[in-house]
Chains A and B, each alone.
Chain A
Amino acid sequence: MEKSIMGKDIIIDIQNLSHRFPNGAVGVDRVSHTILKGEFVIMAGPNGSGKTTLLRHLNGLLMPSDGDVRIKGVPIKGNLLHTRQVVGMVFQDADSQIIGETVREDVAFGPENLGWDPAAVDRQTDWALTKVGLSHKAGVSPHLLSGGEKRRLAIAGVLAMQPEIILFDEPFSNLDYPGICQVVDQMKALKREGHTLVVTSHDMDPVLGLADRLVILDRGRIVKDGDPARVAADAAAFGIRPPLGFLQMAPGQRPV
C-alpha cells in the first residue's frame, strides 16, 4: 500500500536502515528517508559516506542488516523481481555493465531476463534505443561508443525494463563535457516524463538546477536534506565541492 504526503505518493520509503559489512564496518547507519513519485533527488557526500551502499539497497542489490526499504509500498525483502523491474540502476562504470555484443543486444538483456515474449522484447528494445537516440547505432559494438553514448546505452538498458525509478551512481565520473551534457539532457527528459530519479554524485554542478531535493550523507548518515540551493551552500563543510552551476543552461547557451 503506497503512502502519500500532500497528495504525492511515496515511492521509496526507507525506515531505520542500517547496513554493516562482513568486516564490521558500518556502511549506512539508521537512515530513514522518503522519496516522492516524480522527485529528482541528489545524494551527495564524500568518499565512503555510504551513497552507493544506500543506493544499492533501493535496487535490492544489498539487503539491510536492520530496518526496511519499501518500493511503492512493497518491501524489497522477498520481492526482488518486483523491485528490480520498478527500480532501474545505472552504474558508475558503464564499461563493466555492458553484456551484449551489439548495442541492441545489450538493451535487450533486461527484457529477455524478465521472460517477455520475443516480440515484446524487440518492441521495448527499439523504443528504448529511440528514447536515448541510439537507434542508428543498434548494430554497433558497445565498446566502440563514446563515454556519453555508453552511459546513454546503460540508460536504455534500464529503460527497456520500464522502471518508474532510475538510480544513477556517479553518472558523471570519467565523462568529458559533451558526455556530461548528453547524460544531463537524458535526465531532463526522464524527469519530464515523470520518472523518479535518484542520483549520487561528488559533483552536483550538472544536476543541481534539475533537483527537487539535495541530501548530504556523511559516515553513513543523512546530515542535510532539503532545498538544493540552500543545502548546497553547506556542502563544503562535509567535504563536497560547492557547485559552479553552468550546466543547467540550455544546450545552445552552454559555454563551449
Chain B
Amino acid sequence: MASMTIFQYSIGKTMVHSLDTRFKLVLVALASITVLHASAWALLVMSGGVMGLGWYIRLPLFSAAKELRFFFMLLLMVFAARVLATPGEPLVQFGFLVLGKRGLMEGAIVCWRFLLVVCMGLVFISTTRVSEIKRSAAWFFKPVPGVPEKRIAIMLGLIVRFIPVIFEKAGEVTAAQHARCIGRRKNPFFRLKAFIIPLLRGIFNDAGKLAIAMEARCYSEQGIRRIAPAPKRDWIVLIAGGSLCVVAWVA
C-alpha cells in the first residue's frame, strides 16, 4: 500500500469539500492577492481563518509541517536575504553583517505571506478532486478565444495528479540514499546531484507510463464532464469570502 502525502485530495464531506470548485479557485486567488497587500493585523486574522479551515477539514497539521520542511528552508533563505538586504536601524552586528529591526520585521512579514499562500493552496488541494479542477479550468478558459481550454484543463489536472507522485518518489530516493550513507557526504552539490538525477528519472519514467496507460484507455479531450450550476449556498460563501478579502485588503 502506498503512503499518502498531504498534497492530494483527501476524501471528506465538509462544506469546503462540497463547495463549487470555481468558487474555491476564485476565493483562493482573491485571498492570495489580499495576503500580499494585507497589514500584519489582517494577516493575523487571515492566518486564524486558514488554521480554522485546516482544523475543520481535519488537515493533519503536524504532517503538513513535516512535508513542508524544504519549503521552510526556502523561507529561511528568503528571510536571511531580506534581513541582510534591508537597510535600517541596526539591532545586532557580526563583523560586516548587520541585522536591522526593519529588515527582521520585513523578512518575517514576507515569509508569513508566502506561508499563508501555501497553506491556502494546501486547503484547496486537499478538498478538491483533480477532475473538478480540470472541469473548472476548462470552464474558466472556455470564453478565451484561441485557447484550447480542454487541453489546458487536462494538463493542469495532470500536474496536480503528479504532486503526490513527486513527493513519494522524493521520499523513496531519500530513503535509498540514506540507506547507503549519503549523510556522510558533506558536499551539498554532490548530495543535490545524487538526489535530483534519480528523482527526475523516476518522475519521467512514471509520467511516460501514465501517458501510455491514458492512451490505452482512449484518453481524449471529450472526457471532461460539464459542471452543474452552483447552489445558492455556494454563492453566499463566495460573496461572504470575497467581502472579507476586500475588508482585509483595505484594513
Co-assembled chains A and B: yes
Q: Can you give 16 A-B contacts (C-beta < 8 A)?
A: A61-B216, A84-B217, A85-B218, A91-B216, A95-B2, A96-B213, A97-B213, A112-B223, A112-B225, A113-B220, A114-B218, A115-B220, A115-B223, A140-B11, A144-B1, A161-B218
Residues in B neighbouring A105, C-beta threshold 8 A: 129, 131
Residues in B neighbouring A84, C-beta threshold 8 A: 215-218
Taking a contact as CB atoms under 8 Å apart, the answer to whether B210 and A113 are in contact is no
Minimum distance in angstroms from B69 CB to a CB of chain A:
22
Taking a contact as CB atoms under 8 Å apart, the answer to whether A145 and B216 are in contact is no
Taking a contact as CB atoms under 8 Å apart, the answer to whether A161 and B2 are in contact is no
B9 at the A/B interface (Cβ < 8 Å)? yes
Taking a contact as CB atoms under 8 Å apart, the answer to whether B129 and A161 are in contact is no
Taking a contact as CB atoms under 8 Å apart, the answer to whether A59 and B216 are in contact is yes
Given known A101-B131, A105-B131, contact A91–B9 (CB-CB < 8 A): no
Minimum distance in angstroms from B58 CB to a CB of chain A:
15
A93 at the A/B interface (Cβ < 8 Å)? yes
Residues in B neighbouring A158, C-beta threshold 8 A: 217
Residues in B neighbouring A115, C-beta threshold 8 A: 220, 222-223
Q: How many residues of B contact A (CB 8 A)?
A: 28
Residues in B neighbouring A109, C-beta threshold 8 A: 214, 217, 223
Question: B107-160: which residues lie under 8 A (CB-CB) from chain A?
Answer: 129-131
Report the bound CA distance from A109 to B129 in whole Å. Answer: 14
Taking a contact as CB atoms under 8 Å apart, the answer to whether A143 and B11 are in contact is no
B206 at the A/B interface (Cβ < 8 Å)? yes
Given known A110-B217, A141-B11, A158-B217, contact A91–B209 (CB-CB < 8 A): yes
B164 at the A/B interface (Cβ < 8 Å)? yes
Closest 8 CB pairs of A and B: A97-B213, A96-B209, A112-B223, A110-B217, A115-B222, A113-B223, A113-B218, A143-B2
1/0 per residue, CB under 8 A from B, across A73-86: the answer is 00000000100110
Q: Chain A, interface size: which category?
A: 35 or more
Taking a contact as CB atoms under 8 Å apart, the answer to whether B218 and A101 are in contact is no
Given known A91-B209, A99-B214, contact A141–B219 (CB-CB < 8 A): no
User: Considering residues A96, A105, A118, which has the most beta carbons from chain B within 10 angstroms of its beta carbon?
Assistant: A96
A146 at the A/B interface (Cβ < 8 Å)? yes
**Extra 6 A-B pairs, beta carbons < 8 Å, given A96-B213, A99-B210:** A88-B216, A96-B210, A99-B217, A100-B130, A115-B223, A144-B1
Taking a contact as CB atoms under 8 Å apart, the answer to whether A161 and B217 are in contact is yes
Residues in A neighbouring B164, C-beta threshold 8 A: 143
Residue of A nearest to B129 (CB): A101
Residues in A neighbouring B223, C-beta threshold 8 A: 109, 112-113, 115
Residues in A neighbouring B213, C-beta threshold 8 A: 91, 96-97, 99
User: Considering residues B1, B131, B218, B223, which has the most beta carbons from chain A within 10 angstroms of its beta carbon?
Assistant: B218
Residues in A neighbouring B10, C-beta threshold 8 A: 141
User: Considering residues A105, A113, A115, A157, which has the most beta carbons from chain B within 10 angstroms of its beta carbon?
Assistant: A113
Report the bound CA distance from A144 to B2 in whole Å. Answer: 6
